[in-house]
Amino acid sequence: MKAIVHHEYGSPDVLKLEEVQKPAPADNELLIKVFAVSLNRSDWEGLTGKPLYARIGGLIKPNDKIPGSDIAGIVEAVGKDVRQFKPGDEVFGLILNYGGGFAEYACKSERALALKPASMTFEEAAAIPQAAFIALQGIREKGQVQPGQKVLINGAGGGAGTFAIQLAKLAGAEVTGVDNTEKLELMKSLGADHVIDHTQQDFTKNGNQYDLILDVIAHRSVFAYARALKPNGTYFFVGGSVAILFQILFLGPLIRRITGKHIKLLAVQTDSKDLVYMTELIESGKVILVIDKRYSFSQAAEALRYLGEGHAKGKVVLTVEHALDW
């Protein structure tokens, strides 16, 4: 089968379209013919090897050579222990090791997989998984946002952020979205009450305090985040610098003891029910799925460059064309 592969960390130039062995499903896995795969920042991180946590499993060279974790496609075969899906089912979900989706076929377990609604295209379904898990858990399940609370989402114009703005508004919160200049209008259009351009203003220095900060791209010190939280407020680190992650893991508990403010890592769980719930919100029109650009499979490098260079508003999706001349 064809796959987009990188044998070293680097820019999108290191990506190559190669012939690789078609995977075979283990007893608990499905073989999925992939029709669409969406891009996440984790793909960019895995490609460039930055931050350092992206090199877990391959310090010098990548172990997972095929990017892509959010896929949608048709089940071609199932292992003997698979119970919920059968060949021919249209499905979508997250590959749990965050790789392998930039390919004609991928194997994954039943976890974090759901039936694709007939109303959605493969591209739409592929745009949902990772971003939905982060947003649903950050805002609803672990964030437990309540009406009237002040919520700030840092990196709100990206995949997880565009869902998070809308979920926080649905919960009745007053929402501030932070992202770059290009994404201010998008954040407003999704319901953000306030927007901050991070190239112009540091949200931890403007004197405002929040009940919840969901940070998909953390680069400030743990003390700056504490300053921006209300007493008893919660800050969630989703992604960002490893140095900040260590500060949060080691100093977060201390800050909580002294100030009562909760500063912690959001360890995202992957449960199929979140996928079903998010598709229901999208189908009912309560949440808008923001797909900025669609690329063909062979344009994967260009698509990743678009995301990595900071232009992507919401999600970017690759369509995997089968039976075409490569």
Ligand X SMILES: NC(=O)c1ccc[n+]([C@@H]2O[C@H](COP(=O)([O-])OP(=O)(O)OC[C@H]3O[C@@H](n4cnc5c(N)ncnc54)[C@H](OP(=O)(O)O)[C@@H]3O)[C@@H](O)[C@H]2O)c1
Which H or E run includes 245?
A: helix 242-259
How far CA 321 is from CA of 43, 290, 291, 296, 297, in Å, comes to 20, 22, 19, 7, 7
Hey, how many other C-beta atoms are within 10 angstroms of the C-beta on 144? Answer: 12
Q: How far is the CB of 126 from ligand X (least distance, A)?
A: 13
CA distance 296 to 322: 11
Task: Assess whether the previous peptide bond of 117 is cis (omega < 30° from 0).
Answer: no
Residue 195 in the binding site for ligand X (CB under 6 A):
no
CB neighbour class for 222 (10 Å; exposed up to 12, middle 13-18, buried from 19): buried
Residue 198 in the binding site for ligand X (CB under 6 A):
yes
Residue 75 in the binding site for ligand X (CB under 6 A):
no
Out of 37, 167, 268, 304, point to the residue binding ligand X (CB under 6 A): 268
Q: Near ligand X by CB under 6 A, which window of 56-64, 118-126, 215-223, 291-299?
A: 215-223
Residue 158 in the binding site for ligand X (CB under 6 A):
yes
In this complex, which beta carbon is closest to ligand X, that of residue 201 or of residue 232?
201
The torsion angles phi and psi of 10, rounded to 5 degrees, stand at 165, -160
The owner of tokens 């391959």 is: 58
CB 69 within 8 A of CB 156: no
Residue 70 in the binding site for ligand X (CB under 6 A):
no
Total residues contacting ligand X by CB under 6 A comes to: 29
In this complex, which beta carbon is closest to ligand X, that of residue 25 or of residue 177?
177
Out of 48, 130, 149, 204, point to the residue binding ligand X (CB under 6 A): 130
Residue 243 in the binding site for ligand X (CB under 6 A):
no
On the CB side of 86, CA atoms within 13 Å amount to 0
Q: Near ligand X by CB under 6 A, which window of 105-113, 126-134, 166-174, 289-297?
A: 126-134
Q: How far is the CB of 184 from ligand X (least distance, A)?
A: 11
Q: How far is the CB of 275 from ligand X (least distance, A)?
A: 14
Q: Near ligand X by CB under 6 A, which window of 58-66, 121-129, 227-235, 264-272?
A: 264-272
Q: Near ligand X by CB under 6 A, which window of 29-37, 99-107, 117-125, 150-158?
A: 150-158
Q: How far is the CB of 76 from ligand X (least distance, A)?
A: 27
In this complex, which beta carbon is closest to ligand X, that of residue 228 or of residue 266?
266
Q: Decide the pairing of beta strands 315-319 and 29-38.
A: antiparallel
Q: Report residue 150 CA to chain centroid gap.
A: 23
Q: Decide the pairing of beta strands 29-38 and 105-109.
A: antiparallel
CB 200 within 8 A of CB 211: no
Residue 239 in the binding site for ligand X (CB under 6 A):
yes
Residue 131 in the binding site for ligand X (CB under 6 A):
yes
Which residues contact ligand X by CB under 6 A? 40-42, 45, 130-131, 134, 154-155, 157-161, 178-180, 183, 198, 216-217, 219, 238-239, 266-268, 310, 312
